[in-house]
Structure 1
Amino acid sequence: MQLNITKAIAGLSLVTVITSCSKNFINLPPVSNQTTATFFKTTSDFQQGVNAIYDGLQNTRSYGKSAYYLMEVRSDNTDILDRGALGGVASQIDLFTETTTNPFLTDVYAGAYLTISRANAVLDQIDAAAIPDSSKKQFRGEALFLRAFVYFDLVRLYGKVPLVTRVETTTESLNDKRNEVTEVYAQIEKDLQSAATLLPAVYTNVNDYGRVTAGSANGLLGKVYVTEKKWNDAATVLKNVNGYTLLADYAALYNPAAGLNAEVLFTIRFKKGLNPSEGNYYFTDMVPFSFYYNGVAYGGSNNNRPTHDIVSAYEAGDKRLIASLDTVSYKNATTTQPGNYVKKYLDPPGATGDGGSSFPVLRYADILLLQAEALNEQAYSAATGANTAFGFLNQVRRRAGLADKTPAELPNQASFRDAVFAERRVELAFENNRWFDLVRYSKGLAIMQAHLKNEYNLTTPALTPARLLFPIPQSEIDIHNDPANFPQNP
């Protein structure tokens, strides 16, 4: 079964007894269905179980739709077309006015624990399975990577979250607590370190292309270390991410037919035209209301819309601008209309919410910029060779058609740090990195307060450090009803 056309397999109905962190997200199957303990027997069973973990990331509660509202719309990169009554809950995310019952908060949280529960189902059964050791290693590595990836999103969005590493009963899940951030990061590191030793460097079977590899695990681990400001660990791990290269043409990264390429370490793949759908909402959400494209008239929501601020963030001559967004579109065959929209995911859907564009979670360009950042934070150096901080930064800039940054322009650690921060914004635009970068660079509050004023002429709400995390969904707070172990964020 090719990963890019993996459907919501029948086996998923057999594993829905797995709980997430609370009973409101549980969908118990009929008692006649199998449990995870009885389902997992053969290599094929475990293959289906691992495919189900990837499938969790395709869900509309995850990277199929909701994730970019919390990771891009929250930032100064994008907004939604209507910030008034029609904008509703999406407008709340954009303007920092979300309530604890906002469905985007609940969806992303619930979607994450659905995926974690599927990973735990595989991990609970894999060690005792009577299947080939090579398959056992691969499946375990994939499950560990995917669980770590989801927890990495959760801890950055919500802070302290329940650390669930095995299948739980409903009763057990009600006793979960919000673990400390340090505990969650320790588990993420442990999972990725193990995954890097278990996963292959490459897959030889074409049906396995798109699965995570040792390079995926080391690359994500390096990003985790950078987030934790463990600069030495980050530099060491990132140095060993080999076998990848920048594509010569930046725009080629987003060709729907080329979701897998030499630059991608991990991408979430979608396939349109299937029943049930394995597509995404990217095109439907992001194009204008009236949008004429390749001879066909479409209608979209124009959400996740590029802000004026990001349009002006690109340097003159940057090839990434026209590949990433546009400020004008066709309303019909002959009439143009002004208005910003994301171009990276222009794969017309077979139906609403059935787009086929892949979502690049981790690319080699990101690795290069993380290497530049880690080296600079260890110690500023004016060296400009291939394996220096300047060298890594300038690889990315050259592909964009821009001149190298020089020590004369960036004469110290602070100026180099700012240059990497600016480069990450335009290189990784609309790929769910900007909000996290704003937070970890400790620039989020000041930049977003200015953004609310400059973009929308708003001076309220006054942003405080508490706004760097989203609220825990109110349904979770209510069900646990345990202020000591399961409190709401301030």
Structure 2
Amino acid sequence: MKHPYILPLLGILTLSACSKDFINLAPQSNQTTSTFFKTASDFEQGVNAIYDGLQSNQTYGKTYYYLMEVRSDNTDIWDRGALAGVASQIDFFTEVTTNPFVSDGYAGAYVIITRANAVLDQIDASAIPDASKKQYKGEALFLRALSYFNLVRLYGPVPLVTKMETTSQALNHKRNAVAEVYGQIENDLQAAASLLPAVYTNVNDYGRATAGSAWGLLGKVRVTQKKWNDALAALKNVTGYNLLTDYADLYKPANVVNSEILFAVRYKKGLNPSEGNNYFADMVPVSFYYNGVLYGGSNNNRPTHDLVAAYESGDKRLGVSLDTTYNNSATNVVKGNYVKKYLDVPGATNDGGSNFPVLRYADILLLQAEALNEQGYNPATGVGTAFGFLNAVRTRAGLPEKKPADLPDQASFRAAVFQERRVELAFENDRWFDLARSTNGVAVLQAYLKQEYNLTTPVLNADRLLFPIPQSEINIHNDPANFPQNKGY
């Protein structure tokens, strides 16, 4: 069985398990990490391979919105029968340790980490220009931190791997404490912020991680840990961004780079080999008549009635984010919910061009509102206040500002921020994590499960706020002391 951490770098890098230099000779037909990375172009290829891991169906291409949205009260799946049983487990909190979504999310993150480590192991000693060295190192650190942030929130303690390893070394991993993992994430992001440029001047580099990406993610990491003052210090460094006037513009494939996106997973349709996504086919209804063509979709990641009801009257984001009716023929309109944010007709099967926003400025504003409020309720309004950050997002959505009379204390303001995050960031993989870190998240989900499926506890309890470690990993390590399964599985 191959260990999931030990994966090739786009087919060009292989690992050697030999420790003796005199026999550590790679065949001329193969290249190792130590022989491949020589020029700036080589490192650019290596960094591009890390980004490529974000597009994978094991990560943002599919699995993550099952683990991060379907898991929440935002979305469900249409087909709950035998063929969709593993997805139903995620939705119903009945997943087993062999669930492929659980395994894919874990393995996909470590593919990205392994590719980042391959670059980081070689770049300091390389002779490439200093500007390129700083950029590529910063990008690798940012992408590794992003993957560890996803891992630690999904699975809790996970192996902290920061160097390329042999298979035998990987077999000796332990599950590092959550605090250790977060410490590495923060170190990586602080280093990345110091290395990455604020902007890119070459159009071919648009969409790469920037210093703003690193500062923004660092702020989010610290909010997740309830490090409020440190979070604000990082978030204040996110400059040069602003909210777009029209919320709908965020999701137009032609508007790939804009002033609100700090970082997104980018796709482009019409290329060979494909660089597109399968969002359209996975999310639209089973019979979906659109632009004169009848398409067949899976209707997964389907907006729940609970989410639809969460939008206030007049919220411009509702019609951009989802719809509750659709055409199943040229003339027939039927009821049914589906996600509209990523509604880009594919150039071919599974070849959509819409991008997936990982971090944007509206999120930064709401994180600042939350962090300020958690340090102490303040009824002040205006620029730079908790109310000011919250209302900037609401105003763009066409909603009235919240006043101190509406939110008279810390608890009501906290609830308003989480409500705003839900509708502003719907289908962007934030809802599950927001619920998991909130004080009443379990209660909210229990009420939702009762209402939606008539499921009651112990279907959901605090243990299910983490997914299980994939059973394959438990079997490989066979070390209950250092590599135990999560509680409740």
1:259 Cα deviation from its structure 2 partner: 2.2
CA distance in 2, matches of 1:443, 1:397: 23
1:306-317 matches, within 5 Å, as 306-317=303-314
The amino acid that maps onto 2:195 is L
The answer to whether the aligner puts 1:88 opposite 2:85 as a matched pair is: yes
* Letter paired with 1:142: E
Alignment of 1:66-465 (within 5 A): 66-459=63-456, 461-465=458-462
Question: For residues 122-175 of structure 1, what are the alpha-carbon distances to aligned partners after superposition, in whole Å with 9 as ceiling and x for unaligned?
Answer: 000000001000000000000000000000000000000000001000000000
With over 3 angstroms needed to count, the CA separation of the structure-2 counterparts of 1:284 and 1:365, relative to structure 1, is: same
- For residues 281 and 442 of structure 1, the distance between their equivalents in structure 2, rounded to whole angstroms, comes to 35
Question: d(CA) in 1 for partners of 2:236 and 2:457?
Answer: 44
Q: Distance in 2 between matches of 1:17 and 1:309?
A: 49
Q: Which amino acid aligns with 2:111?
A: L
Give me the whole-angstrom Cα distance separating, in 1, the residues matched to 2:343 and 2:372.
36
- The Cα shift of 1:30 comes to 8.5
| TM-aligned CA deviation for residue 483 of structure 1 | 0.6
Q: Secondary structure at the match of 1:361?
A: strand
Aligned equivalents of 2:316 and 2:84: distance in 1? Answer: 32
Contact 1:444-1:468 at 8 Å conserved across structures: no
Residue 15 of structure 1 aligns with which residue? 13
Q: TM-score by structure 1 length? A: 0.94
Q: Secondary structure at the match of 1:257?
A: coil
Distance 1:383 1:175 in 2: 54
Q: Which amino acid aligns with 1:44?
A: S
CA separation in 2, counterparts of 1:259 and 1:346? Answer: 14
Amino acid at match of 2:231: A
User: Secondary structure of the residue that 1:419 maps to in structure 2?
Assistant: helix
Superposition deviation, residue 239 in structure 1: 1.4
Q: CA deviation at 1:260?
A: 1.4
Alpha-carbon distance in structure 1 between the residues aligned to 2:445 and 2:14: 40
Count residues in correspondence. Answer: 472
Task: Return the alpha-carbon distance in structure 2 between the equivalents of residues 30 and 279 of structure 1.
Answer: 34
Q: Which amino acid aligns with 1:343?
A: K
Structure 2 CA distance for aligned equivalents of residues 390 and 122 of structure 1: 43
Alignment of 1:42-81 (within 5 A): 42-81=39-78
Q: Summarize deviations over 1:237-286 as a string: whole Å, max 9, x none.
A: 11121100000000110011112111000000011222222111211110
Q: SS state of the match for residue 447, structure 1? A: helix
Question: Residues 53 and 115 of structure 1 are in contact (CA less than 8 Å); yes or no, is this contact kept in structure 2?
Answer: yes
Q: Take 1:457 and 1:336, find their aligned partners in 2: how far apart are those partners?
A: 29
User: How far apart, CA to CA, are the structure 1 residues paired with 2:411 and 2:14?
Assistant: 50
Identity %: 75
- 2: CA distance between counterparts of 1:235 and 1:305? 34
Instruction: Quote the Cα distance in structure 2 between the aligned partners of 1:473 and 1:342.
Output: 29
Query: How many angstroms apart in 1 are the aligned matches of 2:163 and 2:89?
Result: 34
Amino acid across the alignment from 1:14: I
One-letter code aligned to 1:281? N
Q: Deviations over 1:341-371 (max 9, x none)?
A: 0000001112332211100000000000000
8 A contact 1:18–1:167 mirrored in 2: no
2:3 corresponds to: none
Q: Distance in 1 between matches of 2:350 and 2:241?
A: 32
- C-alpha distance after superposition, 1:223-244 (max 9, x if no partner): 0010000000011111121100
Task: For 1:466 and 1:255, locate their aligned partners in 2 and report how far apart those are by CA, in whole Å.
Answer: 39
Provide the C-alpha distance between the structure 2 equivalents of 1:401 and 1:314, rounded to a whole number of angstroms.
12
Show structure 2 runs of 5+ residues with no match: 1-7, 18-25
C-alpha contact (below 8 Å) 2:94/2:459 kept by paired residues: no
Aligned residue in 2 for 1:478: 475
Distance in 1 between residues matched to 2:453 and 2:388, nearest whole Å = 38
Q: CA deviation at 1:32?
A: 3.4
**2: distance between equivalents of 1:460 and 1:301?**
29
CA pair 300-30 structure 1, distance change in 2 beyond 3 A = farther
SS in 2 for 1:81: coil
Stretch deviating more after TM superposition (86-95 or 391-400): 86-95
Deviation at 1:11, TM superposition (A): 6.6
Q: 1:305-341 deviations in whole A, cap 9, x for unaligned?
A: 0000000000000000000000000101111111000
Shift of 1:84: 2.9
CA distance in 1, matches of 2:341, 2:27: 42
**Structure 1 unaligned blocks of 5 or more:** 1-9, 20-28
Give the conservation status (yes or no) of the 8 Å contact 2:342–2:354. yes
Displacement over 6 Å in runs of 4+: none
Provide closer, same or farther for how the CA distance between residues 18 and 122 of structure 1 changes in structure 2, counting only shifts above 3 A: farther
Segment of structure 1 superposing worse, 374-383 or 155-164: 374-383
How big is each residue's C-alpha offset from its partner over 1:184-219, in whole Å with a ceiling of 9 and x where there is no partner? 000000000000000000001111000010000000
- The TM-score with structure 2 as length reference comes to 0.95
Give the CA deviation at 1:17. 3.1
Distance in 2 separating the partners of 1:11 and 1:485: 29
Structure 2 partner of 1:6: none
The code of the aligned residue for 2:431 comes to R
SS at 2:310 equivalent: coil
TM-fit CA distance, 1:479: 0.6
**Would you say the 8 A contact 2:265–2:358 is kept in 1?**
yes
2:334 partner amino acid: Q
Amino acid at match of 2:58: R
SS at match of 2:468: coil
Counterpart of 2:15, as a letter, is V
Secondary structure class of the residue paired with 1:297: strand
2:4 corresponds in structure 1 to none
